[in-house]
Amino acid sequence: MKAEMITLKHGDATIKMPASSLAKLAMASIFAQVLPPAANVQPAASGPIPALGEYWPGQGGLNGGLAAEHGGIPAHYLIIAKEDIGDFEWGGRGKESAATSKTDGRANTAILSGESEDHPAAKAAFAYQADGHSDFYLPACAELYHCWVNVPDLFAKDTWYWSSTHRSANNAFVMFFDDGFQLSFVKVTELRVRPVRRFFI
């Protein structure tokens, strides 16, 4: 069956195309105008991709490896701050929190930053800046595990690292990079913090 063709004219220009193709273009144009862009997606910069654990020029830190699309977050590289930024309490002991995502540390950090209780670890990660980037956050527990799988030697082996993932009113998830062990610690404990950010491809 022959496709129905539509002819468009504007001044001296003429375009003839299948009606189905024109409908797809019109729908894409409408969606692009009414739907918000994907959260925190920036265009990827050109240039070679550094090896795992190496500094990524202009991205504020070290290449922590490619994270697959998950939960509506497009595939991206996890950029890890070059150094730990200190030891901090998780904060908010005795209070429940909605920062329960095991995979989205950025969302967790935004929640913790907006709560009335003080959350020093998330606040310190959120305040970190490098190479002009101010979108760092405290990684979720699965993001810390991603770091252990890809670049464990970037982290100290004699201490625990806070994640942004709430466990209970008194505890939050932590990671030990010597063996990849995860559990939860009391929120008033001062533990290590390493900010991360996303670099979308």
Q: How many domains does the chain have?
A: 2
Could you report the average pLDDT of every consecutive run of 10 residues in the chain (201 residues)? 65 62 54 47 66 97 96 96 98 97 98 93 98 98 98 98 98 97 97 98 83
Long-range contacts at 51-54 (CB < 8 A, ≥ 24 apart) = 52/150, 52/151, 53/150, 53/151, 53/153, 53/154
- In the 8-state DSSP scheme, what is residue 183? E
Asked if 140 and 165 count as a contact pair (C-beta separation under 8 A), the reply is: yes
Comparing CA positions, the residue from 97, 106, 159, 178 lying closest to residue 137 is 106
Question: What is the per-residue pLDDT for 38?
Answer: 47
Asked if 63 and 54 count as a contact pair (C-beta separation under 8 A), the reply is: yes
**How many helices and strands (H and E) does the chain possess?**
4, 11
Does residue 122 belong to any structural domain of this protein? yes
Question: What is the per-residue pLDDT for 172?
Answer: 98
Do 22 and 116 lie in one domain? The reply is: no
Collapsing DSSP to helix, strand or coil, 164 comes out as: strand
Phi, psi of 172 (to 5 degrees): -140, 160
Write out the residue range of the structural domain in which residue 70 sits: 55-200
Burial of 38 (0-12, 13-18, 19+ CB in 10 A): exposed
pTM: 0.78
Do 61 and 28 lie in one domain? The reply is: no
Q: Could you identify the residue written with the tokens 């670099």?
A: 199
Do 137 and 84 lie in one domain? The reply is: yes
157: CB partners within 8 A, 6+ apart: 177, 178
Does residue 43 belong to any structural domain of this protein? no
First to last CA, the chain: 40
Do 66 and 149 lie in one domain? The reply is: yes
Do 59 and 114 lie in one domain? The reply is: yes
Tokens of 129: 């800046």
Question: What is the per-residue pLDDT for 189?
Answer: 98
Does residue 101 belong to any structural domain of this protein? yes
Do 189 and 113 lie in one domain? The reply is: yes
Question: What is the per-residue pLDDT for 4?
Answer: 75
Do 59 and 29 lie in one domain? The reply is: no
Number of residues written out for the chain? 201
Do 26 and 91 lie in one domain? The reply is: no
Tokens of 70: 């998950």
Do 69 and 19 lie in one domain? The reply is: no
Question: What is the per-residue pLDDT for 41?
Answer: 46
Do 175 and 76 lie in one domain? The reply is: yes
Do 173 and 98 lie in one domain? The reply is: yes
Question: What is the per-residue pLDDT for 47?
Answer: 77
